[in-house]
């Protein structure tokens, strides 16, 4: 049996940094924040492939027909209630023209496998309230919204004020 739309998944390498940043920019456009990305390849290199320590974040890429068409960027989280790590999916993105081929689901499956293999207890992420296609996709994978929680963020000037700067 031949696969009409084959793709493969692998851990990202430093050579993938331009593609990772390209996909992050495409995600920002999709999420209606085209000017919000300030990350550079050097920023990504520092956390994904640091020279002097272990990484603090990880990336999985999907390749199809010789090019990177999807990514999942994640990092370990921690639950005080379980006393165990979990996996926080920061971003999952598949190019729009590559959707429907099973790439997104395959990335979620691989990350769930990472959790299970490591004995981690949670696999979590955010999704924008208006992003109905993604919400439905995640629900089909068995994800349940944690609607009793409200996300807070401190950044920019507020972060510096809080830090006493």
Catalytic residue numbers read 138
Check the CA dihedral 128-74-57-5 and report its sign: negative
Distance CA 126, CA 162 (A): 25
Distance CA 19, CA 150 (A): 32
Give 141's contacts (C-beta < 8 A, 6+ positions apart): 105, 108
Give the single-character DSSP code of 96.
G
Beta strand 58-64 pairing with 8-11: antiparallel
Distance CA 1, CA 17 (A): 34
């Amino acid at each position: 049996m031949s696969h009409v739309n084959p793709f493969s998944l692998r851990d990202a390498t430093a050579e993938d940094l331009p593609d990772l940043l390209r996909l992050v920019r495409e995600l920002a456009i999709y999420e209606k924040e085209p000017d919000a990305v300030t990350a550079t390849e050097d920023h990504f290199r520092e956390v994904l492939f640091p020279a002097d320590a272990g990484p603090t974040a990880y990336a999985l890429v999907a390749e199809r027909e010789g090019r990177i068409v999807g990514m999942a960027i994640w990092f370990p989280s921690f639950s005080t209630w379980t006393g165990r790590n979990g996996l926080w999916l920061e971003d999952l993105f598949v190019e729009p023209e590559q959707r429907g081929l099973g790439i997104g689901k395959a990335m979620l499956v691989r990350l769930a496998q990472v959790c299970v293999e490591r004995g981690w207890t949670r696999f979590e992420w955010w999704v924008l309230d208006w992003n109905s296609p993604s919400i439905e996709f995640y629900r089909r994978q068995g994800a349940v919204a944690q609607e009793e929680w409200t996300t807070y963020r401190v950044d920019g000037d507020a972060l510096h004020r809080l830090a006493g700067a």
